[in-house]
């Protein structure tokens, strides 16, 4: 997906000074093993096979300010919010 069609970018433009996180890649959903809540299990760069190379993309004021591999994002989230079950 390019920046012109990113839903996260558009939301960020409409809500200035808000940090919006979007994802670049193909999202696979599943259930958390403990809580049984819906969660993102992986984000892949390719639709044809699971490579776990999708990205979390951060926007503010409609501008991309950072991106990181989803696996890194998930580790950071779990470290910051332990027991949250992730996204």
pLDDT tens, position by position, 24-76? 999 888 998 888 888 888 899 988 888 989 999 999 999 999 999 998 998 88
Q: Read off the tokens for 76.
A: 């950071």
pLDDT of residue 4: 61
Residue 1 lies in a domain: no
Q: Residue 48 sits in which domain range?
A: 7-78
Cα R_g (the chain), whole angstroms: 14
Whether residue 85 is contained in a domain is answered as no
Cα(52)–Cα(36) distance, rounded to whole angstroms?
Answer: 22
What pLDDT does 23 receive? 92
For residue 84, being part of any structural domain is answered with: no
pLDDT for position 39: 85
Q: Is residue 87 a part of any domain in this protein? A: no
**Is 40 within a domain?**
yes
If one compares 79 and 38, the residue with the highest pLDDT of the two is 38
- Residue 20: inside a domain, yes or no? yes
Number of domain units in the chain: 1
């Amino acid at each position: 997906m390019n920046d012109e069609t990113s839903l996260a970018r558009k939301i960020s433009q409409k809500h200035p000074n808000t940090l919006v996180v979007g994802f670049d890649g193909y999202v696979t959903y599943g259930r958390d093993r403990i809580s049984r809540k819906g969660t993102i299990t992986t984000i892949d760069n390719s639709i044809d096979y699971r490579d776990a190379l999708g990205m979390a993309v951060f926007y503010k004021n409609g501008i991309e300010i950072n991106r990181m591999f989803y696996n890194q994002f998930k580790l950071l989230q779990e470290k910051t919010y332990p027991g949250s079950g992730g996204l």
